Amino acid sequence: MRTAIATLALLLLAPLPAGAAPVRELAEPTDGLAVTGYAMPSTRPAIVRRDADALSTVTVAATSLKPSGAGLTEPDPRTLRLVEVAHEEGLRAELLVGNYSDRLGGFDPDALSALLSSSANIDVVADRLAALVGAGAWDGVNVDLELVRRRDSRGLVAFVQALRERLPAASSITIDVSASSTSSAYLDRGYRMTELAEVVDAIQLMAYDQHGPGWSGPGPVGGLPWVRKSVAAALELVPADRLDLGIAGYGYLWNADGSGRTLAVKAARNLVSRTGARPRWNGAQGEWTALLPGGRRVWWSDGRSYDARASLTAELGLRGTAIWRLGSAGRLG
């Protein structure tokens, strides 16, 4: 899967066991873009089936770092059903490993630093991931390690190298990177982009959370001008065929006091309708917004937003798109 979407269409041809259901050929989107949909363990298999024709890969949040940085949590058993459904629909399935902590309610930079600063911990975690990939028939690993400290940037490269050494040659490795609007800011955030791109199949640029309650006032989740600038900065460091554009399939509500919450696309629309507010498409930003009674504000990214960013992806010759997340985004395609 290193250089072209065509590789995603390869199947290992083998006789089916007696009674096994036939498997569709791996999906190849008609527009030539790789399309990844992120899923949670709780994502209903019916959602994957519904959106399968618009996808080439399903990436499932399966395991997280333990606080020690020297081990992984046990995957939710429901993730294996999503692997089965993805394969039945002709899709690849990647195991997402992250450092999100339920205990903290956010990403754990200390656990991540404990992993990346220790070659012994890197070996232990890479060994465990390779075992999980084999046991669960996963097609690869997605690395979603966030809040990387700059001093741990070499450790992150060492970690993906350790994964590459342990996984089968046909297994893919992708890595999620927070979007930045300057090339130097990527290193400041712990990402040695050029070195990572030499190891992984794709860098999936999380071009969302430009604004959000708790860290900014109201604004687009990932407005097009900011997305363009962030992609341009990334392309100074990595080739276009190693870059996927991450796209939001959700929105945010800001209350008048600055607090707020995340909204699925359907929930955003319903909230606006219920309050009698008028939704407005902001063409410059490529997102919807509405001012609600009481000074509340909503911004959200939906299918129209996705189409604008998919067009940008094709225009720039990027490898593909990656949408966070299935179900929240509404129907794809």
Residue 230, pLDDT above cutoff 60 = yes
Pull the structure tokens for residue 123: 């070996």
Average pLDDT for the chain: 92
Q: Which of these, 229, 227, 260, lies nearest to 246 by C-alpha position?
A: 227
Q: What is the mean pLDDT of residues 35-46?
A: 99
Where residue 31 falls among pLDDT bands split at 50, 70, 90? low
Checking if the pLDDT of 16 tops 60, the result is no
Confidence label for 238 from pLDDT (cuts 50, 70 and 90)? very high
CB–CB of 190/150 below 8 Å? yes
| Three-class SS state of 262 | strand
Contact residues for 199 (Cβ-Cβ < 8 A; gap 6+):
157, 160, 161, 164, 173
pLDDT (tens digit, 9 = 90+) per residue, 47-87? 999 999 999 999 999 999 999 999 999 999 999 999 999 99
For the chain, how long is the longest CA-to-CA vector? Answer: 63
Phi, psi of 54 (to 5 degrees): -95, 0
Closest to 175 measured CA to CA, from 41, 44, 319, 291: 319
Assess contact for 94 and 170: CB atoms under 8 A: no
Q: What's 24-248+302-324's CATH class?
A: alpha beta
Domain segments of the chain as ranges: 24-248+302-324
pLDDT band for position 25 (50/70/90)? very low
